[in-house]
Amino acid sequence: MNKILSILFATFISLVIFSCTSPDPAALYGLTPNDPNNPGANIAGPRIITKVDSAGVTIEEYFSTPSGLLQAVVNKDGDTTAIDYNSNNKINKIIYTSSTGKIETKLYYDSSGKVSQITNETFAGIQTFSFQLSELEYNASGKVSKITQKLAFTAQPVNTDWTHYKISKMTYSGENLTKIEEENGFVTNNVFDPPNPQMGITYLIENFDNKINPMTTLPKEYHIGRSALHSVSLIGINYNNAMKSTIIYEFFPSNPIITTVNDMVYDSYNYPISAENGVRKIYYKPIQ
């Protein structure tokens, strides 16, 4: 019996060493192997998004460790976003770099582990162009309900340096963000002037499916950090996918309304793998 086991073991080792082709990792992790119509689909276990493309052109690519720790994001223009973590493996810095400048975002946490403040410092070359401070509030469910931001065109501003503000208020239904209301205005001697009604923006997020938002495979703090620049980035923490979104710009005389209707195809584990009638593809990889 031992001799038979030894022969079988030796045969197995020989196959591993001398095989011309290694096992398809897609098959090992439950993907549909080599299916160009369903890239990274049907991963049975944990996953993370790796790329979104449109008509074969990469829109955004996400780089992470085998364990799923997001490290960098690169967009279609080659702009890069680097992610740094603190000792608790929570994001504490997001550095966006383009050909024209850099934005350094820092996240600060309260004693309960929630992001309480965010700073954004924009650089033109090595000089600070602007500095933004964001303070976050949460509702009883632990979701971001309000972001109050102040902007100054100097590094390390003092009270009299702030010139502009923006307040974003969020409304939720269950696990999904459904509405963002932004008001903007000027700051005088560190006091907010009344909001300018022509500078407001409202986002409506509607008609949710019962599937899984692919952006939830990324760290929640990544979306919260980005929301200090664009509050609509908080959509990334929604559990489900919105089939309809509307932007209402108050600062145009005609108050234009832009509505987008979405469609999606899902894999057997309820993750979207394509949208826009198959033009946009969503790729994933398994987390080991």
In the 8-state DSSP scheme, what is residue 217? Answer: G
Q: What is the pLDDT along the chain (288 residues), one digit of tens a residue?
A: 333 223 222 322 232 222 333 333 333 333 333 344 555 567 888 999 999 999 989 999 999 999 999 999 999 999 999 999 999 899 999 999 998 899 999 999 999 999 999 999 999 888 889 999 999 999 999 999 999 999 999 888 888 899 999 999 999 999 999 999 999 999 999 999 999 887 889 999 999 999 999 999 999 999 999 999 999 999 999 999 999 999 988 776 666 788 888 889 999 999 999 988 888 999 999 998
- Which tokens hold the place of 110? 């309260």
- The answer to whether 260 touches 245, Cβ cutoff 8 Å, is yes
- The answer to whether 281 touches 53, Cβ cutoff 8 Å, is yes
- The answer to whether 253 touches 15, Cβ cutoff 8 Å, is no
Per-residue pLDDT tens digits for 5-44: 232 223 222 322 223 333 333 333 333 333 445 555 678 8
2-286 is classed CATH 1.10.1740.10: no
Longest dimension (CA), the chain: 88
Q: Where are the alpha helices (DSSP H) in 19-149?
A: 25-28
